Amino acid sequence: MKETSDITREKLADVFKTERPRLLRYACYRLADGDDAEDVLQETFLKLHTRLSDSEDGQIDNLPSYLFRTLANICTKWQTSASRFKTVPLDTRVDVADTTPDKRNEDDYKRIARLLTEIPDEQAEVIRLRIYGDNSFAQVAEILSLPLPTVKSRFLYGLEKLRRGMKN
């Protein structure tokens, strides 16, 4: 049985400090934009604050899992929203690949990001949560409400597809 505890402002502040880097890294890799990642992270903590304010019991089972699940949902909504299209004037755009000393790493990052969009979403999400979110397989299973063996197999199948894509 999961342990449920009241969440105080101090506990919320502690969770924000400890989980923020992992959550932000996950959102950055999911959205491929630091500013968007900051926005969805802010929305995630606002949603948490609102839920705790509206809730009479002020309780959430496993707060880090709740945060990752909420962040994943907000990222999905963010990506599919029609209002998320941006325009950048060509004369102000700086290509990161041209300014990075290690162009090979940047190219690999871009290929992996592209390949993650080409494999099944359920495999890509497990990889993002495990690697970019720095979650254990058990934590990923809890976040996605899936059995542990399913999470591990999706991870392995997804990695195999990424490896094949990187060889091409």
Q: What does the domain layout of the chain look like in residue ranges?
A: 1-86, 95-168
Helix and strand counts by DSSP (H, E) for the chain: 8, 2
Comparing C-alpha atoms, which of 143, 1, 138, 152 is closest to residue 64? 143
Which backbone phi and psi does 145 adopt, to 5 degrees? Answer: 55, 50
Report CA dihedral (116, 111, 139, 53) to the nearest 10 degrees.
Answer: -80
Rounded Cα distance, 25 and 30, in Å: 9
**What mean pLDDT comes out for the span 26-32?**
85
Question: Residue 61 forms beta bridges with which residues?
Answer: 4
| The token pair that represents 33 in the structure block | 């934009």
Q: Is the pLDDT of residue 92 over 50?
A: no
90 pLDDT band, cuts 50/70/90, is very low
pLDDT at 122 over 70: yes
| Contact predicate 151/123, CB 8 Å | no
Q: What residue has token string 């000393």?
A: 101
Assign 13 a pLDDT band (cuts: 50, 70, 90). confident
Q: What is the pLDDT of residue 96?
A: 39
Q: Fold for domain 95-168? A: Arc Repressor Mutant, subunit A (1.10.10)
Beta strands in the chain (DSSP E): 4-6, 59-61
Evaluate whether 127 touches 165 at the Cβ level (below 8 Å): no
